[in-house]
Structure 1
Amino acid sequence: MIRVLIVDDDFMVAKVHKGFVERVAGFEVVGLAHTGADALAAIAGLRPDLVLLDIYLPDLTGLEVLRRLRDEGTAVDVLAVTAARDADTVRAALRGGVVHYLIKPFTFDGLRERLERYAAAFGGLSAEGEVAQDDVDRLFTAMRPAKVELPKGLSAATAELVAAALRGAEDDLSAAECAAQAGLSRVAARRYLEHFADAGRARVRLRYGQAGRPERRYRWAGPKA
């Protein structure tokens, strides 16, 4: 499980964000903090993997919290979750090493996508020892923002059907198996699966049989929602 601390000065907003996070498989909320000082204390005591950090806090700003964490060398990832839209704040957050910057208000799906991408990257470097260039490439692909527009001929509604089939599968799926679950033709399912693979949202494995071409099998590149 990826352990999450939520930092927001608004108690109700923090509870809403807690509910969002707990709906995403593979994540658990280990605490809430409502001031910068409380956030620093909670990070030191709870040792979360990820902090959802608001910028506007009543004592320290989120940027100051971030700066102190980096100065202390605290090993924690930070996802900025804030209404701050000015370029200087965004730039400072990026320089502080946030894994993503999500502007309020946002939907559950908006947060879920960022968390899934973070989980894919987090899991990709979970093992000890050295990593190959392919491992590094997969990590940065996983953290890359999703494409805003689908390729011509693909629809958002059908893409979600295919994504839901992948997320709900216990194992990887062939195009035919995914098509059966999504209620599509195999050719149509294959187009969406290949799009997800190109975008880093699905991983592809080749399964070799006794004859003919190897079968391409797909797995969602993140925790299952």
Structure 2
Amino acid sequence: MIKVMIVDDDPMVAEFNKRYVELVAGFHVEYVVHSASQALKILDTEDVDLLLLDIFMPGINGLELLVQIRQMSKSIDVIVITAACDSNNIKKALQFGAVDYIIKPFEFERLNAALSAYQGLSNLMDDQERLSQIELDQCILYKEQPTSIQLPKGIDRNTLTITWRKIKELEQGFFSTEEMAKYVGISRVSMRKYLEFLRQIGTLQLELIYGTVGRPIYKYRCINSVNNCIQRYL
């Protein structure tokens, strides 16, 4: 299990990132902190494998924290997740050893791809003492992307395929979790996981529908039936 620390001064963003990470199998968020000083205090006595690090923070910023981590000589990898999109910050982060750089706002698919690539390289390093150039290129340069990528925990590829097929048959009509669960033949609780996943990758939209009688209810609607990113999951 890859142990993760999230460092972001915005509690809402930190929680958002935590939920995203926990959708990916093989990762566990051990700590969520909101300042570099908090992170350093924990890292002084505890070990983590991966930091998800913001740059813009009061006090010690993310790049300064990254430098201090390198000076600690600990085997900690860093993925920068920040709104900073200027070339200077990006260049510095990469020079200081960040393994990836994600610009806010981002979709789940981008973080999932970063974590999957990191996990692939980590597993490769653990399993083999010597690596070929092709193996390194696949993990580091992303020259050969797989036709499908890792799905979040609790999501089955076959069920996702059936769900997506049913959604497209509705021709962008509204549907509830319960309705789609009946179409596919799984429980409402299970179906909610699939629909929320499709919403997170930008395929569905959740809207409040007002009927003529009774309370309004939330229903999903397909907003991108030709979304190419979903093909990577099917």
Match of 1:131 in 2: 130
Structure 1 position 93, deviation (Å): 0.3
Match of 2:26 in 1: 26
Match of 1:144 in 2: 141
Segments of 5+ residues of structure 1 without an aligned counterpart are 151-158, 169-177, 184-223
Match of 1:163 in 2: 148
Structure 1 position 182, deviation (Å): 6.4
Q: Would you say 1:108 and 2:105 are equivalent positions? A: no
* TM-score, length-scaled by structure 2: 0.61
Q: Which whole-Å CA distance do the structure 1 matches of 2:78 and 2:151 have between them?
A: 25
Structure 1 position 146, deviation (Å): 7.0
Q: Which whole-Å CA distance do the structure 2 matches of 1:58 and 1:103 have between them?
A: 19
Matched-pair contact (CA < 8 Å) for 1:30–1:46: no
Structure 1 position 43, deviation (Å): 2.3
What is the Cα-based RMSD across aligned positions, in Å? 3.0
Matched-pair contact (CA < 8 Å) for 1:121–1:140: no
Match of 1:173 in 2: none
Cα 1:167–1:7 change in 2 (3 A) is closer
Cα 1:30–1:86 change in 2 (3 A) is same
Q: Which whole-Å CA distance do the structure 1 matches of 2:23 and 2:90 have between them?
A: 27
The number of residues matched between the two structures is: 159
Report 1:33-182 matches (<5 A): 33-127=33-127, 130-132=129-131, 134=132, 137-145=134-142, 163=148
Q: Which whole-Å CA distance do the structure 2 matches of 1:44 and 1:5 have between them?
A: 13
